[in-house]
């Protein structure tokens, strides 16, 4: 007897309406599947809906940090700057939602609180904070890698009399810091972008730094018609080329190792890239992420620029990154970050010498001093890659929860699916290139792969898919091996889970490169989804029912 699956409310439930959820929904429409997208925010955009802090902008050029799936979209849309600011990127997300008629299937202001796989009925039950309970054959997590904000556990936060902000949950109406004494805690990308802008307004700005980071100048400019049309004339070929690259981003790629050229030649190359701006400095040589000595040449160059920019040598010294190879934490890209420390109103507070002890009603107390401030900005980052997934903590076969399956760190096959969680996909999940790439390139690749997989299943009348434990183990071991060929695991980065106390230390993204990874995913699909078990979950539910 063939077991019939119960009739679900939808073919697919998608969680999240950022760039991943939006494109996923568009593809599901194309497949003729019924879909519901559930989104905690009041509108589309994900990262760009939430992160409205001053100075927020992309660090991948906008001609590249944009969708490629529709040629008319990429030809029609005009970016006003080399690196678009958050409001423009958010407008773009809204335009995409309207243009492809996506809003009708998105339920906003609704947070998914649980997702449970029902083995007998072969469907997912998804529940929300609004009391909805919906069922679907497939559950697709488009919950984002950097969407679960992290507030550090500092004593006394609730006592502070003034406003407290997190860069990832910035008020929509903006914040006027004019004449205020402001504290920014953190010196990652969000802090480094916001500090120069806040410094223009604040009477005094205290930057609480625990670990100095490498930052390179953006040299942002208005989009020129020549640059825009050079891209648009050749968009298809350039997008295709980007998909084959390690990071999915087109830079001027060096072809030699840093140690194969003279010190003078290297300096010329680094100076050229520093003047052009952007994170392409890491593409100057082929060995910067593999060879420590090679990496030192780039790191030393950037440290020299910091010393040359910051007038007070004692402040400059404290801003020099010294505990990780350059690029092994996401390199920051700024507009006037180091220059901001030349303002008499900007004060660096070095938490290495005196850590924060508490937040008081009037400010921040470190081991050596009380800092009176009117507002505190937490630029303290995210519970990256796993935070949003574990907040839902889906339950798969036999009621096993994701936090149990991932107690030693995330395990997945290709970062797309997790063994024991049939019909649940993760877009840019841990184990895929995701955060090490132009994320829109990686999002499109995952969405296309999932869509093709759903179409393939439909053609065969298959009902379930999940990875085998063996294929997953092999992928996890491969990911570990590739990561440990690089310098990345040396850094206490959020890639390693090091920013969240108690989180397992595992290098979470796949560092084999976007191009190689895509080839692997395509080959696996072409071989009939090698490593995946098709209809195994349906078969086991049939046995259980008989
Ligand atoms: P998100 O944009 O994070 O969207 C996920 C959505 O899921 C969110 O809207 C969230 O509200 C929703 N969600 C999560 N959990 C639930 C739940 N339980 N219920 C309902 N809804 C839920 N990447 C680059 O490649 N280049 C850049 O320049 C770049 N700049 C960045 C700047 C900032 C400030 C940050 C934080 C990240 C940046 N990134 C950048 C990474 C960025 O996150 C991705 O580029 C991309 O926007 C991710 O899209 P997404 O749809 O996968 O996830
Ligand atoms: P982040 O890189 O994790 O930085 C968080 C900062 O807060 C770090 O300096 C950290 O110090 C500090 N911090 C955390 N807890 C602290 C505590 N208890 N006391 C003192 N300091 C504390 O987070 P982020 O800046 O939000 O960036 C996250 C990622 O988002 C980036 O890496 C990037 O991928 C993306 N992003 C991109 C852009 C862009 O340019 N387009 C902008 C923003 C964000 P330690 O290092 O010592 O832990």
> Domain locations in the chain?
10-148+384-545, 151-213+331-381, 251-329
Annotation: CATH topology of 151-213+331-381? FAD/NAD(P)-binding domain (3.50.50)
Q: Tokens 């701006």 map to which residue?
A: 277
Residue 269 beta carbon below 6 angstroms from any ligand 1 atom: no
- CA dist 452 and 29 (Å) reads 13
Query: Are 193 and 395 within 8 A, CB to CB?
Result: no
Residue 54 beta carbon below 6 angstroms from any ligand 2 atom: no
Residue 428 beta carbon below 6 angstroms from any ligand 1 atom: yes
- CA dist 511 and 509 (Å) reads 6
Provide the sign of the torsion angle of the four alpha carbons 152, 156, 157, 162, taken in this order. negative
pLDDT of residue 538: 66
Tokens at 418, concatenated: 């997790």
Q: Which of 537, 541, 435, 405 is nearest to 495 (CA)?
A: 435
For residue 142, report the distance from its CA to the centre of ligand 1, in Å: 9
Residue 184, classed as helix, strand or coil, is strand
Residue 383 beta carbon below 6 angstroms from any ligand 1 atom: no
Tokens at 246, concatenated: 């390690």
Quick one: which atom of ligand 2 is closest to the CA of 351?
Answer: 20
Residue 335 beta carbon below 6 angstroms from any ligand 2 atom: no
CATH H superfamily, domain 10-148+384-545: FAD/NAD(P)-binding domain (3.50.50.60)
Residue 19 beta carbon below 6 angstroms from any ligand 1 atom: yes
For residue 229, report the distance from its CA to the centre of ligand 2, in Å: 35
For residue 243, report the distance from its CA to the centre of ligand 1, in Å: 20
For residue 446, report the distance from its CA to the centre of ligand 1, in Å: 15
Residue 328 beta carbon below 6 angstroms from any ligand 2 atom: no
Query: Are 202 and 181 within 8 A, CB to CB?
Result: yes
- CA dist 496 and 508 (Å) reads 6
Residue 147 beta carbon below 6 angstroms from any ligand 1 atom: yes
- CA dist 400 and 422 (Å) reads 12
- CA dist 359 and 375 (Å) reads 11
For residue 154, report the distance from its CA to the centre of ligand 2, in Å: 16
pLDDT in tens, the chain (546 residues): 334 457 899 999 999 999 999 999 999 999 999 999 999 999 999 999 999 999 999 999 999 999 999 999 999 999 999 999 999 999 999 999 999 999 999 999 999 999 999 999 999 999 999 999 999 999 999 999 999 999 999 999 999 999 999 999 999 999 999 999 999 999 999 999 999 999 999 999 999 999 999 999 999 999 999 999 999 999 999 999 999 999 999 999 999 999 999 999 999 999 999 999 999 999 999 999 999 999 999 999 999 999 999 999 999 999 999 999 999 999 999 999 999 999 999 999 999 999 999 999 999 999 999 999 999 999 999 999 999 999 999 999 999 999 999 999 999 999 999 999 999 999 999 999 999 999 999 999 999 999 999 999 999 999 999 999 999 999 999 999 999 999 999 999 999 999 999 999 999 999 999 999 999 999 999 999 999 999 986 665 544 444
pLDDT of residue 4: 47
Residue identifier of the C-alpha nearest atom 42 of ligand 1: 47
Task: Tell me the ligand closest to 331's alpha carbon.
Answer: 2
Residue 106 beta carbon below 6 angstroms from any ligand 1 atom: no
Domains 10-148+384-545 and 151-213+331-381 share a fold: yes
For residue 258, report the distance from its CA to the centre of ligand 2, in Å: 29
Task: Tell me the ligand closest to 132's alpha carbon.
Answer: 1
Q: Beta-strand (E) ranges in 131-289?
A: 133-141, 164-166, 181-185, 204-209, 215-217
Task: Tell me the ligand closest to 113's alpha carbon.
Answer: 1
Predicted TM-score of the model (pTM): 0.97
Question: Bridge partners of 492?
Answer: none
pLDDT of residue 1: 30
Q: Which of 309, 238, 310, 319 is nearest to 66 (CA)?
A: 238
Residue 374 beta carbon below 6 angstroms from any ligand 1 atom: no
| Residues 6+ away with beta carbon under 8 Å from 502 | none
Q: In a mutational test of the pocket of ligand 1, which residue from 18, 190, 335 has the highest number of ligand atoms less than 8 Å from its CB?
A: 18
Residue identifier of the C-alpha nearest atom 40 of ligand 2: 59
Q: Which of 507, 489, 480 is nearest to 384 (CA)?
A: 507
Tokens at 502, concatenated: 């108690």
Residue identifier of the C-alpha nearest atom 24 of ligand 2: 381
Task: Tell me the ligand closest to 351's alpha carbon.
Answer: 2
Residue identifier of the C-alpha nearest atom 17 of ligand 2: 152
- CA dist 259 and 300 (Å) reads 14
Residue 10 beta carbon below 6 angstroms from any ligand 2 atom: no
Distances (CA, A) of 335 to 23, 95, 217, 339, 341: 31, 27, 6, 9, 13
Tokens at 490, concatenated: 């040396």
Residue 59 beta carbon below 6 angstroms from any ligand 2 atom: yes
DSSP string, 322-363: -SS-TTSSPPEEESSHHHHTTSTTEEEEETTTS-EEEEETTE
Residue 149 beta carbon below 6 angstroms from any ligand 2 atom: no
CA dihedral 460, 462, 465, 471 (to 10 degrees): -50
Quick one: which atom of ligand 1 is closest to the CA of 38?
Answer: 20
Q: Are strands 375-378 and 356-360 parallel, antiparallel or unpaired?
A: unpaired
| Residues 6+ away with beta carbon under 8 Å from 377 | 53, 165, 166, 167, 182, 183, 184, 185, 191, 194, 198
Residue 93 beta carbon below 6 angstroms from any ligand 1 atom: no
Query: Are 82 and 62 within 8 A, CB to CB?
Result: yes
- CA dist 516 and 540 (Å) reads 34
Query: From the centroid of its chain, how far is CA 11?
Result: 27
pLDDT of residue 536: 82
Task: Tell me the ligand closest to 20's alpha carbon.
Answer: 1
Q: Which of 193, 199, 241, 214 is nearest to 64 (CA)?
A: 241
Query: From the centroid of its chain, how far is CA 457?
Result: 29
| Residues 6+ away with beta carbon under 8 Å from 296 | 325
Residue 147 beta carbon below 6 angstroms from any ligand 2 atom: no
Quick one: which atom of ligand 2 is closest to the CA of 58?
Answer: 41
Which ranges of 373-529 does DSSP label H, i.e. alpha helix?
Answer: 387-392, 402-405, 439-460, 469-483, 514-526
Residue 443 beta carbon below 6 angstroms from any ligand 1 atom: yes
Residue 456, classed as helix, strand or coil, is helix
């Amino acid at each position: 007897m063939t077991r019939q699956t119960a009739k679900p409310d939808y073919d697919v439930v998608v969680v999240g309406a950022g760039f991943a959820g939006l494109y996923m929904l568009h593809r599901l429409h194309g497949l003729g599947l019924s879909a519901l997208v559930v989104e905690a925010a009041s509108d589309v955009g994900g990262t760009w809906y939430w992160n409205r802090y001053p100075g927020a902008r992309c660090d991948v050029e906008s001609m590249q940090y944009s969708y490629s799936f529709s040629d008319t979209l990429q030809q029609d849309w005009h970016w006003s700057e080399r690196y678009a600011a958050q409001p423009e990127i958010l407008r773009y997300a809204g335009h995409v939602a309207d243009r492809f008629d996506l809003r009708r299937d998105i339920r906003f202001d609704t947070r998914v609180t649980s997702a449970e796989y029902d083995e007998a009925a072969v469907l997912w039950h998804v529940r929300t904070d609004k009391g909805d309970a919906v069922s679907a054959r497939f559950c697709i997590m488009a919950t984002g890698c950097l969407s679960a904000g992290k507030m550090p556990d500092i004593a006394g936060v609730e006592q502070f009399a003034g406003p407290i902000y997190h860069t990832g949950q910035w008020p929509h109406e903006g914040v006027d810091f004019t004449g205020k004494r402001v504290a920014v805690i953190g010196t990652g990308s969000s802090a480094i972008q916001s500090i120069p802008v806040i410094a223009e307004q604040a009477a005094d700005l205290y930057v609480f730094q625990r670990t100095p980071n490498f930052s390179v100048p953006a040299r942002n400019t208005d989009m020129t018609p020549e640059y825009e049309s050079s891209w648009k004339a050749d968009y298809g070929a350039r997008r295709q080329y980007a998909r084959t690259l390690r990071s999915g981003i087109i830079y001027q790629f060096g072809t030699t190792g840093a140690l194969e050229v003279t010190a003078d030649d290297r300096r010329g190359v680094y100076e050229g890239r520093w003047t052009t701006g952007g994170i392409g400095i890491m593409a100057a040589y082929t060995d910067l992420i593999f060879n420590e000595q090679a990496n030192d040449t780039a790191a030393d160059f950037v440290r020299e620029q910091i010393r040359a920019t910051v007038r007070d040598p004692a402040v400059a010294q404290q801003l020099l990154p010294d505990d990780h190879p350059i690029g092994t934490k996401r390199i920051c890209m700024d507009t006037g970050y180091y220059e901001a420390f030349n303002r008499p109103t900007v004060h660096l507070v070095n938490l290495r010498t005196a850590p924060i002890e508490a937040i008081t009603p009037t400010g921040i107390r470190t081991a050596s001093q009380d800092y009176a401030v009117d507002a505190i900005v937490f630029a303290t980052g995210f519970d990256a890659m796993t935070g949003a997934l574990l907040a839902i903590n889906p339950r798969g076969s036999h009621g096993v929860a994701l936090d149990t399956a991932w107690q030693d760190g995330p395990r997945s096959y290709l970062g797309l699916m997790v063994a024991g969680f049939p019909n649940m996909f993760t877009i840019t999940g841990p184990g895929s290139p995701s955060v090490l790439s132009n994320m829109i390139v990686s999002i499109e690749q995952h969405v296309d792969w999932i869509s093709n997989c759903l179409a393939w299943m439909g053609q065969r009348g298959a009902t379930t898919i999940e990875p085998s434990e063996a294929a997953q183990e092999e992928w996890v071991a491969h990911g570990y091996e590739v990561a440990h060929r690089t310098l990345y695991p040396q850094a206490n980065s959020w890639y390693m889970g090091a920013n969240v106390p108690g989180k397992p230390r595992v290098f979470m993204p796949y560092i084999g490169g976007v191009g190689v990874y895509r080839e692997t995913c395509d080959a696996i699909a072409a071989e009939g989804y090698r490593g995946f078990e098709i209809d195994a979950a349906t078969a086991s539910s049939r046995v259980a029912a008989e």
